[in-house]
């Protein structure tokens, strides 16, 4: 399978500062078409203050785990950091940057998860919301990362085993995310998930909740740092990607399944978000 998730047009990763020591496992590995979730790479790096990466329109879901020192991250207009015992998350389709903190060197290990199910799975697991996660058992989490690294490094890859480990890693990480959503937000999310095929407006969702639209907007921005319109659109896009790669439904049928006005509107919105048309996305992913 061509890794369309690693080759999104205009996606770019840029080193910050001078050359630094790093090693990759799994870079360039191609997974067969039936596999819908996989570890794209495991990377180790030793950074000096100020060294790091910038991401433009990132194509994967990445987990950055500092082993020594502190990494400073920038995303969604926020600056935050992670230290040993925590992980920082880099989200699909977003711009972000991270670098070693100024007080000393940093050593870290990271993993990038790719595949057609990444966005829908991370959405369902509610991993699209947090920027950092405090690990309950950092040693066990690291051992799981190292197991994936080892399996990526052998000549004969166990594709199904690696896919299973990637799913396990995301599931375990999701179990460590603190759930502090207000009840109203939980209800709003449930309404959205139950109405992906409907052309439901933000005002109509607010009406179902018996609150004002401005209250709903504030609720989403405060808890998820995204507008309700954008969050609902992301759910629909994730569903469309899954249907394109896992079914033989026509573009028109998929457009109807995600509540688009018509296939032309669907194709225009899809290309605006993904850089390719639905047909190209399906063709590249087969």
The pLDDT tens digits for 253-278 are 999 999 998 999 999 999 988 888 99
Q: Which domain holds residue 221?
A: 183-285
Q: How many domains does the chain have?
A: 2
Which pLDDT value is given to residue 234? 87
**CATH code (residue 65):** 2.60.120.280
Q: Are residues 112 and 232 in the same domain?
A: no
Phi, psi (deg, nearest 5) at residue 202: -60, -40
Instruction: Examine residue 6 and state whether it is found in any structural domain, yes or no.
Output: no
Identify whether residues 194 and 149 lie together within a single domain: no
- Give CA–CA dist 278/271, Å, rounded: 7
Q: Show which of 142, 174, 206 is a domain's final residue.
A: 174
Residue 2 covered by a domain? no
- What are 64's two structure tokens? 């950055």
Question: Do 161 and 28 share a structural domain?
Answer: yes
Q: Is residue 199 part of a domain?
A: yes
Region of 234 on the Ramachandran plot (φ > 0 left; ψ -120 to 50 alpha; else beta): alpha
Q: Which residue has the higher pLDDT, 191 or 26?
A: 191
**Chosen domain end from 122, 147, 174:** 174
Q: Say what percent of the chain tops pLDDT 90.
A: 55
Residue 22 has pLDDT above 80, yes or no: no
Count of CB atoms situated within 10 Å of the CB of 194? 10
Q: Is the domain of 170 the same as that of 188?
A: no
Q: Is residue 253 part of a domain?
A: yes
Residue 280's CATH number: 1.10.10.60
Looking at the structure, tell me whether residues 189 and 280 fall in a common domain.
yes
Identify whether 77 is part of a domain: yes
Residues 47 and 166 grouped into a single domain: yes
Number of residues assigned to the chain: 286
Say yes or no: 157 and 249 in one domain: no
Do the Cβ atoms of 37 and 113 come closer than 8 Å?
yes
Residue 221 structure tokens: 């921005």
Picking from 174, 196, 213, the residue at the C-terminal end of a domain is 174
Residue 137 included in any domain: yes
Give 30-45 pLDDT, tens digit per residue.
Answer: 776 678 889 999 999 9
Under the banding of pLDDT at 50, 70 and 90, the label for residue 9 is very low
- Say if residue 125 is in the same domain as residue 261: no
> What residues are paired with 38 via a beta bridge?
114
Q: Are residues 131 and 201 in the same domain?
A: no
pTM of the entire predicted model: 0.68
In this structure, are 169 and 221 located in the same domain? Answer: no
Q: Which of 41, 48, 1 is nearest to 20 (CA)?
A: 48
Going from the C-alpha of 263 to that of each of 164, 223, 248, the distances in angstroms are: 35, 33, 16
Pick from 69, 90, 190: nearest CA to 133: 90
- Residues 133 and 190 both lie in one domain: no
Residue 3 lies in a domain: no
136 found inside a domain: yes
Do 265 and 154 sit in the same domain of this protein?
no
């Amino acid at each position: 399978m061509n890794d369309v998730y690693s080759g999104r047009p205009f996606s770019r990763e840029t080193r910050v500062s001078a050359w630094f020591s790093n090693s990759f496992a799994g870079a360039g590995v191609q997974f067969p078409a039936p596999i819908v979730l996989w570890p794209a790479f495991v990377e180790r790096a030793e950074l000096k203050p100020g060294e790091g990466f910038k991401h433009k329109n990132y194509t994967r879901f990445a987990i950055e785990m500092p082993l020594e020192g502190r990494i400073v991250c920038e995303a969604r207009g926020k600056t935050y950091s992670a230290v040993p015992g925590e992980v920082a998350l880099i989200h699909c389709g977003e711009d972000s940057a991270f670098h070693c903190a100024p007080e000393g060197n940093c050593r870290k290990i990271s993993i990038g998860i790719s595949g057609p199910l990444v966005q829908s799975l991370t959405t369902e697991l509610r991993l699209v919301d947090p920027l950092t996660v405090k690990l309950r058992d950092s040693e066990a989490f690291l051992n799981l990362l190292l197991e994936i690294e080892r399996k990526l490094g052998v000549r004969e890859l166990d594709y199904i085993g690696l896919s299973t480990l990637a799913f396990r890693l995301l599931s375990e990480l999701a179990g460590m995310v603190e759930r502090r959503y207000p009840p109203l937000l939980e209800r709003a999310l449930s309404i959205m998930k139950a109405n992906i095929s409907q052309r439901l407006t933000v005002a109509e969702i607010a009406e179902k909740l018996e609150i004002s639209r401005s209250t709903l907007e504030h609720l989403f921005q405060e808890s998820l740092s995204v507008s309700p319109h954008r969050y609902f659109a992301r759910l629909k896009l994730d569903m469309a990607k899954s249907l394109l790669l896992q079914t033989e439904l026509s573009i028109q049928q998929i457009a109807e399944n995600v509540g688009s006005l018509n296939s032309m509107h669907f194709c225009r919105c899809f290309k605006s978000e993904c850089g390719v048309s639905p047909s190209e996305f399906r063709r590249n992913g087969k």
